[in-house]
């Protein structure tokens, strides 16, 4: 006497197919939606002071290096100290309520607790000066900051994204010829060099592609 119907014979096949399809779907969801491009890009934290990069870097044309000093000589871009802000705001908008945290910081000596926007994992090493001195401009990694009211993450800054550039740096390099149009802080810069000219720019640039280049 048969206890179970014959139709149950296909149950293992159905379960196997469901496992493969379901596992593939779950893998795709985690691979795509939990990637840096979706988790990091667009991150735009609220800062203790509503600082407008669109105003300062865009309309006023203040060079990135005025606030992020030593970026061409240091691995860190450096968050500007309060003294840098007060260099202007000691006379500009002295009574603005929005700038009270800055004035309070200047009076007490306690730094403004800015929220870091671009943060790499602790196991990854990045040197700003190395990139800038070979001709990689700010806009390549940070986007059009001069058009952002609040700075946000513009690129995924993932290992794969960095390696794509390390394997083919030419499109990201601008000539260091003294031409203001090619300045590393020129946010409006666009690549106009031919493929051959890009190769020439990259001839003396050898970005590491091995693990120890970024994981030290």
Q: What is the mean pLDDT of each run of 10 residues along the chain (216 residues)?
A: 71 81 72 60 93 96 94 91 96 95 97 93 93 96 96 93 96 92 94 93 93 91
Contact 89, 102 (CB under 8 A): yes
Q: Whose CA is closest to 120, among 172, 77, 74?
A: 77
Residue 173: closest CA among 128, 136, 131: 136
| Residue 140: per-residue pLDDT | 96
Helical H runs in the chain? 11-33, 36-39, 53, 64-67, 82-89, 100-108, 128-133, 138-142, 159-167, 195-202
pTM of the model: 0.79
- List the domain boundaries for the chain: 6-34, 53-78+117-213, 80-113
């Amino acid at each position: 006497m048969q206890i179970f119907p014959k139709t149950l014979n296909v149950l293992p096949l159905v379960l196997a197919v469901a496992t493969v399809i379901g596992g593939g779907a779950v893998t795709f969801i985690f691979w795509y939606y939990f990637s840096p491009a979706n988790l990091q890009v667009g991150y735009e934290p609220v800062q203790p002071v509503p600082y407008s990069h669109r105003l300062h870097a865009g309309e006023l044309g203040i060079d990135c290096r005025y606030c992020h000093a030593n970026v061409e000589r240091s691995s860190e871009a450096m968050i500007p100290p309060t003294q840098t802000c007060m260099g202007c705001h000691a006379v500009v908008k002295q009574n603005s309520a929005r700038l009270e945290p800055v004035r309070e910081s200047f009076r007490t000596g306690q730094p403004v607790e800015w929220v870091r926007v671009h943060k790499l994992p602790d196991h990854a090493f990045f040197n700003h000066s190395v990139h800038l001195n070979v001709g990689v401009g700010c806009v390549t990694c940070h986007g059009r900051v001069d058009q952002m009211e609040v700075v946000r993450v513009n690129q995924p800054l993932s290992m794969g994204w960095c390696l794509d550039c390390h394997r083919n740096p030419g499109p990201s390099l601008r000539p260091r010829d003294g031409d203001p149009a090619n300045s590393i802080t020129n946010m409006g810069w666009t690549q106009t060099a031919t493929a051959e000219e890009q190769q020439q720019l990259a001839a003396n640039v050898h970005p590491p592609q091995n693990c120890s280049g970024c994981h030290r």
